[in-house]
A and B are shown apart, each in its own frame.
Chain A
């Protein structure tokens, strides 16, 4: 499998604070990669750096052979990376349909908008029922589906998700994770940041553990699930 995204010793900070000081990881085309770690470990910061929302101080981020660190978010989206941010960041006073359609920013994704929309509605039938409803009035789970749908509308090659399970009921989380597997089966590579470590590890092919701004462990799903340290620190066994 070819490498789609790689981070090489990336350092990102806010002001005087260094949030991530040595993030190196690799996502291969077609994979689901989980990035796990405790609160404040730097997971969100790492995703934001890839999305172009933060400029790394050191290191390189390479997507599909091109350096993308320091590029604008619009450029990163145009290259094929869609980001489902923490807190979903929908447009609350606009309808579900408008939120979804806004996700198709590039000329190529706009041209395919009807087909992509049909696919999103196929994945999340609930959104089809709620198309004309304002996004701000949706339940948390429906908002998360809208946020994922909006990202898919960009027809990304890499879908990055930041804590998609946060604040949702277990049954809704299960639906969303099932759909992530379906999205991946459809050919989209997934980079998933989660605090729900067990679910994330079960879904992924490979995973990385981020602690205090640095990658401290990595491995395949089975290796990580069997790792004694991870069991003790994150799975409570």
Chain B
């Protein structure tokens, strides 16, 4: 079930250390919507995605844009700063205790003969597949999506043909944040979370992106599948608490065999 989620999660390929914290904000937003407005996270995820889109685009326009020409390390520092601020704002507002969103929808279980299906996981899986498909259609079939792929493929080339690069970057950042926001809302009834959850989520997403190859969209998809399968197998055959051992061993193995990641291009 984590497959679809990790797919979305891995698609955004900007070096974004605030990734996990954006997801946690999506979770808290789902929590607020559910406790204050009585909106089930399985319905509220769309609102979370919209909110995070605006937030992501604003971070890109207001902060990242200013240092887009600076070396990569500067972007990492900036995003680390954003991550710290986001985590501590969450801490200030919601406190450090782990919480979990209650969802009447998510508590239900369907019995299909001898099998019983957890509705929460089924819905999460289904929505994740739909969102991933929608993202694919957007990136491959629409003009803005193609501009995003072009800018990812060759930023200088995109500039030369007259792409409004700022607009494209803001859209890409916003969509990445929206995906993460939706994912956060969707897992909020399953996964207990606290402000510090963001860091481990960021690390997982980096793992995926590095395995797939930095900057490769198909790589992010495949990396997402591999990491979640490795973690599921690790949880079954080792111990649930050792599942990261499996995914990070996979990371090391792949880096030894293919230093640029599965779909990565060698730096020239």
Contact = CB atoms under 8 A, between A and B. Distances in A.
Contact of B154 (A74, A77, A78, A91): A91
Contact of A77 (B153, B156, B157, B162): B162
B162 A154 contact: yes
A98 interface: yes
B162 A94 contact: no
Interface residues of A, number: 26
Interface of A: 51, 53, 73-74, 76-78, 82-83, 85, 89-94, 98, 101-103, 105-106, 110, 150-151, 154
A94 B160 contact: no
Interface stretch (B44-52, B84-92, B143-151): B143-151
Given A91-B149, A93-B153, A94-B153, A51 B163 contact: no
Interface residues of B, number: 18
A77 B146 contact: no
A102 B159 contact: no
Contacts, number: 58
A92 B146 contact: no
Contacts of A98: 146, 150
Contacts of B147: 102
Contacts of A154: 161-162
Contacts of A151: 161
Which A-B residue pairs are the 9 nearest by beta carbons?
Answer: A77-B162, A89-B157, A91-B153, A105-B162, A74-B162, A91-B150, A74-B164, A85-B160, A73-B159
Contacts of A73: 159-160, 162
A152 B161 CA distance: 10
A154 B161 CA distance: 8
B150 A150 contact: no
24 contacts: A51-B160, A53-B159, A53-B160, A73-B159, A74-B165, A76-B162, A85-B157, A89-B160, A90-B154, A91-B150, A91-B153, A91-B154, A91-B157, A91-B158, A92-B153, A92-B154, A93-B216, A94-B150, A101-B146, A102-B150, A102-B163, A103-B161, A105-B163, A150-B161
Contacts of B149: 91, 93-94
B150 A89 contact: no
A77 B216 CA distance: 28
Chain B binding site: helix, strand, loop or mixed by DSSP? helix
A195 to B, nearest CB: 20
A77 B161 contact: yes
Nearest to B165: A74
Most buried by B among A74, A78, A103: A74
A45 to B, nearest CB: 15
Contacts of A150: 161
B164 to A, nearest CB: 5
Given A76-B162, A78-B162, A91-B157, 20 more contacts: A51-B160, A53-B159, A53-B160, A73-B162, A82-B161, A85-B156, A89-B154, A89-B160, A90-B154, A91-B153, A92-B154, A94-B153, A101-B146, A102-B146, A102-B147, A102-B161, A103-B161, A105-B162, A105-B163, A154-B162
Nearest to B156: A89
A105 B153 contact: no
A154 B159 CA distance: 13
Contacts of A77: 161-162
Contacts of B161: 77, 82, 102-103, 105, 150-151, 154
